[in-house]
Amino acid sequence: MQKRLRRIGSILIFIGLSTIITIILENMSSRYDSLGVFDILPKKERVVINYLGTRVTRYLIEYTPSLAKITVRIIDKRGLDSIIEGSELKPIVEFKEIDGLDYTFKPPKRGLYAVIIKNLGDIPIRVKIRAFYSGYDYDIIYLGIAIILIGFTLIITSILYGKSR
Amino acid sequence: MNRSKLNKLFSLIRWEFMRNLRFPILEFIFVSAVYSIVSGLLNISSVLNVDIKGIGVLIYNIFAVEFIFRLGLCFVSKYDLIIAVYSLLASISFAGEIASGNMRLLLSYPLKRRDIFFIKCLCLFFIPYTIYLGVSLFFLLLMGQDIILYLSWYKFIIALFILFIESLYVFSISVAVSLLLQNTMASFLSTLLILYGLEKISFVLPSSIKIFVPPENLRIYVFYVLGRVFPSQYNSTLLFYSFINMLVLSLLLLFASYLYFVRVYEVCRRG
């Protein structure tokens, strides 16, 4: 029993450590994604959906011609569900009547996020949207730390169990 | 099968587990599985660009497909780690036990050579495979929370089948080399060199031949079955044959190893 607990503890410590090291290695450099170049007709909306971890995300939205104004809303999975169900949309953040966007945010949780862009002008616009990711996926790092702590707890329990006998 | 024989088989399985899962071998398998799967699932880069009226449940399905595709791809792209895991296990369990004399002790027990070979192979093959399966499921459920209901379990099983074929191929070569060389370090290094060499050669081969060389054929297969686009320069029938060839080659190698172990291998060499 004592040996088994110690063994499971050591395995958990290795799992936790490898999880953290993987995240550090993978997130060491910042990443860039082109989320597309597309046209939006006057008074129409377009949605760009992507999967985000918990890294710091910077959205960069540019469009031409810059005569028109746009409205940008960022929503999460709940927002997407409300669009599907046709209920009231509650965005995480909303920018009204802007002429471009450079917005940095840290997603509160891992999952699907969408950027809704509305063309408020009377002419079609061509939008270019990019995302830059930096920092670390802290949710997985915390998971790794939790696994390591469970591993240590098991090892300490096994030592205490051995002393009590 | 009578009770005493079953007991003997179970004690052989326990022996295999104790010998092969000691520190730090099991830890190494877990570390390789975690690294392969987490690094693959972190880089989900699918982007969907739709009109607001086009949003439906289908978008979740698209991201769910991307997750399984990434999982399949990380099984194939971390082929090097799978080689390291299986060559390590086979060289310790077959070559190592022959070199240290443990095999002699094992064969002196009232068990058939056939049973020993099968139990060794089953344990060695399924330990890493089960760990990879468990780690994949854990991280898939954890990282794909939003789309978990939309995951195609049928595609997940295909991804696991690709991992199965890949592992079987690596395992069969590792066992054959271990039985042939009967030296732990020599068999470990030879297996690594053979499999890495084959992998590197596949990069410079023309696409008509590349389709027959692992893990390149598996990578194409992942794109074909789990991905979105089938590379136009490849023929799907040839790809299917290459998949079957790999399976047949692995089974033939395992059968040859079995024949060698049961019929040819001598515990005490004369001479």
Q: Is the Cβ pair B143, A110 closer than 8 Å? A: yes
Beta bridge partners of A126: A39, A64
Q: Are residues A24 and A70 in the same domain?
A: no
B259 reaches A (C-beta below 8 A): no
Q: Is the Cβ pair B48, A48 closer than 8 Å? A: yes
Q: Are residues A140 and A83 in the same domain?
A: no
Q: Are residues A7 and A69 in the same domain?
A: no
CB contacts under 8 A, A 62-91 vs B, are 77, 80, 83-84
Count the domains in chain A: 2
Average confidence (pLDDT) over B230-256: 82
Confidence (pLDDT) at B233: 64
**Which chain B residues have a beta carbon less than 8 Å from that of A36?**
47, 49
DSSP 3-state assignment of A115?
A: strand
Q: Which strands form A125-134's sheet, in the order they lie side by side?
A: A31-40, A125-134, A56-64, A101-105
Which residue bears the tokens 């054959």? B176
Q: Are residues A107 and A121 in the same domain?
A: yes
Residues 6+ apart with CB under 8 A from A158: A1, A2, A3, A5, A6, A9
Q: How far apart are CA B121 and CA B107, in angstroms?
A: 16
Q: Are residues A43 and A113 in the same domain?
A: yes
Smallest Cβ–Cβ distance between B145 and the set A47, A50, A111 belongs to A111
Q: Are residues A49 and A109 in the same domain?
A: yes
Average confidence (pLDDT) over B10-24: 86
Q: Is the Cβ pair B63, A112 closer than 8 Å? A: yes
Q: Is the Cβ pair B49, A35 closer than 8 Å? A: yes
Q: Are residues A96 and A163 in the same domain?
A: no
Q: How confident is the model at residue B169 (pLDDT cuts 50, 70, 90)?
A: very high
- Higher-pLDDT residue of A137 and B213 is A137
Range with the poorest average pLDDT among A13-17, A61-65, A121-125, B263-267: B263-267
**Which chain A residues have a beta carbon less than 8 Å from that of B26?**
11
**Domain of A141?**
1-29+136-165
Q: Is the Cβ pair B51, A45 closer than 8 Å? A: yes
Q: Are residues A89 and A147 in the same domain?
A: no
The closest alpha carbon to A127, from A16, A22, A48, A51, belongs to A48
Question: In chain B, what percentage of residues exceed pLDDT 90?
Answer: 45
Beta bridge partners of A49: A114, B48
Q: Are residues A118 and A150 in the same domain?
A: no
CB pairs under 8 A between A and B: 99
Average confidence (pLDDT) over B213-222: 84
Average confidence (pLDDT) over A111-139: 92
Q: Are residues A49 and A106 in the same domain?
A: yes
Range with the poorest average pLDDT among B50-54, B65-69, B97-101: B50-54
Q: Are residues A118 and A48 in the same domain?
A: yes
Q: Are residues A109 and A160 in the same domain?
A: no
Predicted confidence (pLDDT) per residue in A35-79, tens digit: 889 999 999 999 999 899 999 999 999 998 888 899 999 999 999
Indicate which CATH number applies to the domain containing A98: 2.60.120.380
- Mean of pLDDT over chain B: 87
Q: How confident is the model at residue B199 (pLDDT cuts 50, 70, 90)?
A: confident
Q: How far apart are CA B194 and CA B90, in angstroms?
A: 14
Q: How confident is the model at residue B271 (pLDDT cuts 50, 70, 90)?
A: very low
A157 reaches B (C-beta below 8 A): no
